[in-house]
Structure 1
Amino acid sequence: MKFSLNNQAFQTELSYGNLTISGEDEHGFRPFALLVSSIAGCSGGVLRKVMEKQRIDFKDIQIEAEVERNEAEANRIEKISMHFIVYADNLSQKKAEKALAISSKNCSMVQSVIGSIDIVETIEVIPLEDN
């Protein structure tokens, strides 16, 4: 990957499109948001694959992420809490928790930050008839 400074942001061209990164919201994606997004996106993607391999039918997966930062240490990210909400019929809480545990062990982004950032993952199953 090659990054170039363009005014107030760095840019790189990826196969999907251009990515603009800046410490200021008005100039591009903030680095901390990209880090959290990559962890959530990886975890969610692996969870989806695990559930598909286990032949679990689901309508949707949503992820709510909360970040704790330490202002005294360069605003370092210290904890990311992710709450997964799976909309599915015939999925027990226990089976959903097992699928999440497998996905956590197989998500490269989560595994890359273990020991540096506390990752907390919870999962909730909402039956489709409730929607």
Structure 2
Amino acid sequence: MKFLMNENGFTGNLPYGELLVSSNEEYGFRPYQLLVSSLAVCSGGVMRKVLERMRMPAEDIQIEVKEVIRIEEEANLVSKIHLHFILKGQIDPAKMPRVMELTRKNCSMVRSVEHSIEIIESYEVV
């Protein structure tokens, strides 16, 4: 990866395309948004695979970021993120604690920050 400075932030030229990053969301994604997005989508992707392996494929998974706590006095450090998964499909609620456990265990992004950011995960099956 390579990021080049522009007048409003940085541009990354990645294999999929151009990524604009800026502290001003009028000009690109804010770094904390990318951090939260990485955690949410990595978890969702792992959850999808776990459900498939448990023979309960999800028809749909939505992820709501219920809360992001940042500590202003510490350079807006992200200290807590609450991810809420809304699952649709023939999913056995009794198996969901194991699904959640395996999702957390196998999400590389969550594992990378688990000792520095409190990650809360909740779910509902609709």
Q: Report the TM-score, using the length of structure 1 for normalisation.
A: 0.91
Matched pairs, number: 125
Task: State the 1:75 CA deviation.
Answer: 0.9
Alignment of 1:6-21 (within 5 A): 6-21=6-21
Check if 1:106 corresponds to 2:106.
yes
Shift of residue 92 of structure 1?
A: 2.5
Preserved CA contact (<8 Å) 2:60 2:87: yes
Match of 1:26 in 2: 26
Partner residue in 2 for 1:3: 3
Please give the alpha-carbon distance, in whole angstroms, between the structure 1 residues aligned to 2:37 and 2:98: 23
C-alpha distance in structure 2 between counterparts of 1:111 and 1:10, whole Å: 27
Percent of residue pairs bearing the same amino acid type? 50
> How much does 1:57 deviate?
3.0
Cα displacement string for residues 4-55 of structure 1 (whole angstroms, at most 9, x for unaligned residues): 0011110111111100100001110000000000000100000001111111
> Could you list the runs of 5+ residues in structure 2 that have no partner in the other structure?
none
Quote the Cα distance in structure 2 between the aligned partners of 1:27 and 1:45.
28
> Greater strand share, 1 or 2?
2
Residue number in structure 2 paired with 1:129:
none
Unaligned runs of 5+ in 1: 127-131
Identify the residue that residue 71 of structure 2 maps to in structure 1.
Answer: 70
Q: Secondary structure at the residue paired with 1:25? A: coil
| TM score, norm. by length of structure 2 | 0.95
Deviates more, 1:22-31 or 1:56-65: 56-65
What RMSD in Å do the two structures reach over aligned CA positions?
0.9
Shift of 1:106: 0.4
